[in-house]
């Protein structure tokens, strides 16, 4: 299995050294994996308090991981990416910073939706406000259209508590767009393990009925996420029950 979703302590809410993640991946039999910590977002001050890298850490993040990559190159292939949000007004600037630093790939984790009046709403906050759902899906569509992302991390993060038929209708339309675009969708190990609001069974049932496959992302915030093979086999069984095929993620170079 290839996992492209691994965090580091730089984001402020993960455990274990970089080396411990690599050692855990080796122990679990991985021959290749990717780090994708939470990128900085230089956007509307309210993001500053959210745990993620600071902008000045982007270069050291790459350099430190790159030196471990070289050290381990005989044993394992390591990729260096970021998990980031998509916001039209700042995305090009962010891309420039990431590319300058040597970042190889991005996954889109849309943890917040934003509004023209400056309002920022956490995507996982339970709400029956349809505008949050629509804005969230618009931002995912924007990310897909940008062509910059390898895959959508926890695409089912939005916690819409309104009428079921609205969720089904909006998600079906969204997933039809996803299918047409060929964008890869992540089934998130962390949310599954923690029994969070995502992965959302309604979402994956629609994906299954449309014949859209999943890639598994560990969303590792601790090294033992790699060696917890039991959860991976439960996920395989679960997705097979929903008719969702599992594929290996393919990196789209930045
Ligand atoms: Zn995180
Ligand atoms: Zn995330």
Distance 69 CA to ligand 1 centre (A): 22
pLDDT at residue 45, as a whole number = 56
Distance 145 CA to ligand 2 centre (A): 20
pLDDT at residue 46, as a whole number = 53
pLDDT at residue 33, as a whole number = 98
Distance 108 CA to ligand 1 centre (A): 13
Q: What is d(CA 173, CA 104) in angstroms, rounded to the nearest whole number?
A: 31
Distance 209 CA to ligand 1 centre (A): 30
225 CB neighbour count, 10 Å cutoff: 25
Q: What is d(CA 142, CA 157) in angstroms, rounded to the nearest whole number?
A: 16
Distance 94 CA to ligand 1 centre (A): 19
Distance 12 CA to ligand 1 centre (A): 8
**Helix, strand or coil for residue 241?**
helix
Distance 36 CA to ligand 1 centre (A): 10
Ligand nearest to the CA of 84: 2
Distance 3 CA to ligand 2 centre (A): 14
CB 142 within 8 A of CB 89: no
Which run of H or of E encompasses 167? helix 164-181
Distance 111 CA to ligand 2 centre (A): 6
Ligand nearest to the CA of 13: 1
Distance 4 CA to ligand 2 centre (A): 12
Query: Which has the closest alpha carbon to 216: 34, 68, 72?
Result: 34
pLDDT at residue 41, as a whole number = 79
Instruction: Please list the ranges in the chain whose pLDDT falls under 70.
Output: 42-50
Distance 26 CA to ligand 2 centre (A): 23
Q: Could you tell me if residue 109 is left (phi over 0), alpha (psi between -120 and 50 degrees) or otherwise beta?
A: beta
Place of tokens 């629509």: 134
pLDDT at residue 156, as a whole number = 98
pLDDT at residue 47, as a whole number = 56
Q: What is d(CA 111, CA 39) in angstroms, rounded to the nearest whole number?
A: 12
Distance 241 CA to ligand 1 centre (A): 28
Ligand nearest to the CA of 109: 2
- Model confidence pTM above 0.85: yes
118 CB neighbour count, 10 Å cutoff: 9
Distance 179 CA to ligand 1 centre (A): 27
> pLDDT tens digits, residue range 107-128?
999 999 887 777 889 999 999 9
Distance 190 CA to ligand 2 centre (A): 9
Q: What is the CA radius of gyration of the chain?
A: 17
């Amino acid at each position: 299995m290839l996992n492209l979703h691994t965090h580091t302590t730089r984001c402020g809410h993960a455990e274990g050294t970089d080396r411990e993640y690599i050692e855990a991946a080796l122990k679990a039999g991985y021959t290749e994996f990717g780090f994708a910590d939470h990128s900085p977002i230089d956007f509307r001050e309210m993001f500053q308090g959210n745990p993620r890298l600071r902008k000045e850490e982007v270069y050291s993040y790459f350099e430190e991981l790159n030196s471990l990559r070289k050290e381990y190159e005989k044993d394992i292939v390591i990729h260096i990416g970021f998990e980031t949000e998509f916001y039209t007004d700042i995305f090009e600037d962010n891309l420039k910073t990431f590319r300058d630093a040597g970042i190889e790939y991005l996954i889109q984790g849309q943890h917040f939706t934003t509004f023209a009046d400056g309002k920022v709403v956490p995507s996982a906050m339970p709400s029956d406000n349809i505008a949050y759902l629509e804005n969230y899906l618009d931002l995912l569509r924007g990310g897909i259209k940008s062509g910059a992302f390898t895959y959508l991390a926890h695409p089912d993060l939005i916690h819409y508590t309104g009428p079921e038929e609205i969720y089904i209708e909006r998600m079906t339309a969204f997933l039809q767009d996803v299918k047409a675009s060929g964008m890869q969708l992540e089934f998130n190990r962390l949310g599954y393990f923690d029994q969070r609001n995502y992965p959302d069974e309604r979402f994956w049932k629609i994906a299954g009925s449309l014949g859209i496959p999943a890639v598994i992302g560990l969303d590792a915030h601790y090294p033992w996420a790699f060696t917890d093979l039991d959860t991976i086999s439960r996920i395989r069984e679960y997705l097979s029950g929903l008719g969702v095929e599992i594929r290996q993620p393919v990196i789209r170079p930045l």
